[in-house]
Amino acid sequence: MDFYQRFLRPIFFALDAEQAHDAVMSLLGAGSQYPGLLRLTTGKPMPKSPQCHRLVAGIEFRQPIGLAAGMDKNGIALPAWEALGFGFMEIGTITALPQPGNPKPRLFRYPEQQALINRLGFNNEGVESVATRLEGLRSEGRWPRIPVGLNIGKSKVTPSEKAHQDYLDSFKRLHALGDYYVINVSSPNTPGLRDLQSTEALSRIIRTLRDWEGTPRRPLFVKVSPDLAEEDLIAIVQLAEEEQLAGLIATNTTLDHLSIPTGRDQTGGLSGVPVRPRSLEALRTIRQQTQLPVIACGGISDANSAKERLNAGADLLQVYTAFIYQGPGLLRDLATSF
């Protein structure tokens, strides 16, 4: 058991889940000023091996284990994620307009299942504030040396028929800042958002971004739900190929809560170990249809589950919930799968 699990996790887990999240982000935001100190607290450095290198969507990844979107919604700790050992990071979900998210409480731990349920609702400062912060990092010479993905979603107040413009507003403002971009249409916590996974609605969003962007194009991914019917997932894969997207992220959280005891269940998206079978099945379905890059996310919690995704055709891996339970030691464990 490492320093995080022995000393830090009991402190954080004594707090409400969202209070703990905010405390961790405040500490990492402060620690981003001194990333060398963070490296000292993580113990052994991440292994460096040519086997870990990946070239995905034209981007070089020195090691393929990344931070999933949802942890650092406002981009306040970019240097910290690199110092902790991540090979890349994904910031957001960022919306065009600032929004507080859903009423609290809205984040719940399930240690026995190594899971979380959240109904946060894209709480974030809005694209202008996040973009200004990221620009400051670049101008100060503190931009991380690992790839940074920017995950964008629809503002809650924007009607679905205007979603394409809302995504474009965020994409425009962030366009010069990220290494890759993610269209998030699969969170279950914004009313109507998953309806945008229909090929008609999703195609309109993608083409709106591409029409504005012209060439050259930035790498653009779509994050999909683990709850899609197989034929709907295949339709999205076909659309991704037609629109020449960089790839897909499989998957977001699930609404299948069968693993959670009835008396303790909450409304929201379930992440962590219970989503592993659904995320793996989605990955296999995608890989049967295309050779586009796939970033695997959902239930990756140890070397075995990491190997499982790699063997199923994942190009990169992302973690979030398991990192909350295990801390930086998780990254070294996952690295043994390569």
CA distance 85 to 38: 10
Quick one: the chain helix, strand, coil %, rounded to 5? 45, 15, 40
Residue 88: φ, ψ to 5°: -165, 170
Contacts of 154 (CB under 8 A, 6+ apart): 95, 122, 160, 163, 166, 167, 185, 190, 193, 196
User: 20 with 118: CB under 8 angstroms?
Assistant: no
198: annotated active-site residue = no
Closest to 246 (Cα-Cα) out of 154, 181, 311? 181
Q: Which one from 155, 186, 187, 271 is the annotated catalytic residue?
A: 187
For tokens 């971009």, name the residue: 181
Rounded distance, CA 78 to CA 80, Å? 5
Whole-angstrom distance, CA of residue 171 vs CA of residue 195: 20
CA pair distance 175, 62, nearest whole angstrom: 23
Catalytic residues: 187
